[in-house]
Structure 1
Amino acid sequence: MTFSHRKLTSFAAALLASSTLVATPASSREAVIGLSPLQASDDLKAQAERVIMYLAETVEPGETALVFDALDVELIGSFSVPEGEAYANPKAKLQANRQLFAAFKHFFEGANPDADRPAAIDLPKLLRTIREHYPSDNERSIILLGSPVHDDPLAPSYSMEGGRVPYDGLVAAEANVSAYSTGGLPGSLDDDAVLFGIVPAAKGWQASLNHEYHVERFWSVSVEAHGGTMRYFGEDIETLFRLANEDGEPTAHPQPLVPTDKLEMIRFFPDKGRDAKTEAPSESAPNRTDIDWHYAENVRVRASWDCLACDLDLHVRSHPQAEVLFYGRSSTAEGQLFKDVRRGMTNGFETVVLNDAVDLAEMLIAINFYAGDATDGPVAVEIELSVGDRSFTKTVELKAQSGNGGVGRSAILERGSAPNRHWIVLSALELTKK
């Protein structure tokens, strides 16, 4: 369905005649708005109506707001209010901005719902474009309506599809590293408040509550790295527009950017509604006849820690001749490493899944305090070994107060023991003992 000129004119006339348009107190907040074309035309029409109503009520004489196609990052049009008291009236503002209705007509005609990328926008490119080409010295609201899942077909390794979320190192990296990177960019989003409205076309985007939390956190710390703050992230569009015109103290995300140079993606899986059976460690080496410890299948190792400012790394070597799985080599013939959140939303977390049967007596597990600071004392690390549906856990402590960037990794492979207090090394069989 396309949006005809007649319908667009009716839309404008309805707004001009609307008794719901009321002038709001001047807030001296500028506005930039981004919409996704990958939606049904009726959905875009409803969003455009709400956007224009917001602009008519809030943009003051002498001010200009910008409206973008947030996928292609192209300017749809501007909403400019001429100087003079006559233009304080919302209906007069609409009369002065009829060109925006024509621009919206063209935008609606290009609407193309995409089942694979519903309501997609290119938020990284839009934020870069605003800070570099549309700087502002005033407080400004950046209103975005779309899906929070970024998917660039030209960069599939950094796609957020499939429950994946960029890790903090990608945000802090130099701008040429990835679309998410902010280091060295010109300009800033100082005094800008970003409000992200998740539209109905994007329904079902989250794999779990933990995934939703970390997507919101990722975009929040990304906006902060650009110099702004995330004022709102959610599905309540009316709350978004109300907050967009309110002044408020900038509030940083409670889980700040972790200082790390690792360039990786976190992977989240849907909640299954149950956990693996966890057994207490035995007094001695296991001798259960139902598990072959020299031919263990479906083996997984998970490490988790409760330290917001700490970046720890799990290392697993399935046998002496195998390559070590860790953040720098996340996939080998033996298995894969990924960040897997199924527990606390703010814990550290890493998981290794091995592809084939292994001899647990030959398996080596190590944890490194890679980056960050442990301000509250030693970092408690829970390590869980799962074999089939059996799980064994052990809690150990890292005594170091800050990360060392992985120094000592080669010594571990040669000697099989921790070279310094930044490492913990243990065998798989140790996890089955008290």
Structure 2
Amino acid sequence: MDGRYIPKSRRFTPQERPNVPVLELAIVLKWLVAFAALTAVGAPLAAAAFPRLPRRGAALALPAAVVPLALFVFWIGQVTFGLHTVVVGLGLVVAASALAYRRGAEPEWRAVAGGYAVFAVGFLFLVSFRMYNAGITPAGGEQFLHFGLVKALLRAGTLPPEDFWFAGEPLRYYYGTQMQVAAYTLLTDTAPRYGFNLGIAAFYGFLVVSAYGLVGAATALRGRSYRLGGALGVFFVALAGALTTAVRLGFGLLPRETALEYGRPAFDAVRHMPYEEAVVRLSNPFEWGWFYTRYVVPNTLQEFPLYSFVKSDLHGHALANGYILFAAALALSYYLTPAEERGRRLALVYGGMGLVAGVFGFMNTWSLPTVVGLAWLALAAADAHPATLLPASATA
């Protein structure tokens, strides 16, 4: 779990990784406890936002807590940033949760626990991977940049932090993902070299539990199994990748001349490798490399979620996917809300999807149009006319 620099040429053998230090396991446990507490805090908020979803949106309790926490930390951080900022932000989320509970948003606690278990499985899956691949390397894309941003944030007194590559100047870069990792690192009193890897695992857990909660609810609304639907959602969203991998490996069963003659649709998009070499290497399961799975359409990149988490940096476009699914769940909740509940519909649009859009403003603006599109679809498809959200004087 130690995220210090490891040269690319250095490879650990199984004999060198026989045991995981007890200290590292204790850190992982501390993060699990922290996210269990956040899940409990978010449960009434989820129950308030998803009253007509099966299980009252219990699986979405953790995203319901971490999304507003991120926004509060960002706002308060413009004045002062540190552990106290995270604590105050968390206090505001707790206050909102208590208010929702007092107003009747009572969660289904057993389902909340089940949703947390799904998060924990996803979190520990990525922790296990990073445990055997924990180094920050030049081959890791922008790992040096993102780890540097986390450390710069931990040193910062206000936001934005100082640009560690342009001393004395404020950072001009989207840093919302790194800010959230820094916040969890401060909250759990974790060394940043561990927090970097655990932060990646946390966002993978957010993706897993959001996929489970959204797809499980959608299938249950159609009279199907919540658990089966949720499991399929996790598989297709968080685990499955491009079908070109299976197609390329299938070419390994053909004679080489046949594979070279007919393989261009499957291999022509591969970059950094001649076509003939790509056919030979990427059709061989013993030479196949995960890096090339992102080359599907010529002259473009198609990074599916698991690819980005295997790559293991803190790119906002990769780690925002769990929040996009949370926004989709909010859109579904709006669609199911009766026209007469105007206040709830306003809250879902501006306090729900609007809140996610606000986080994307400093986390990943590429995802902002997606949230706007989801809100537009919800408003267009719902029974209530969008104009009913406007003040009565505006529609008179």
**Which bracket does the TM-score occupy, shorter chain normalised?**
under 0.3
The structure whose Rg is larger is 1
Normalised to the residue count of structure 2, the TM-score between the two structures is 0.24
Normalised to the residue count of structure 1, the TM-score between the two structures is 0.23
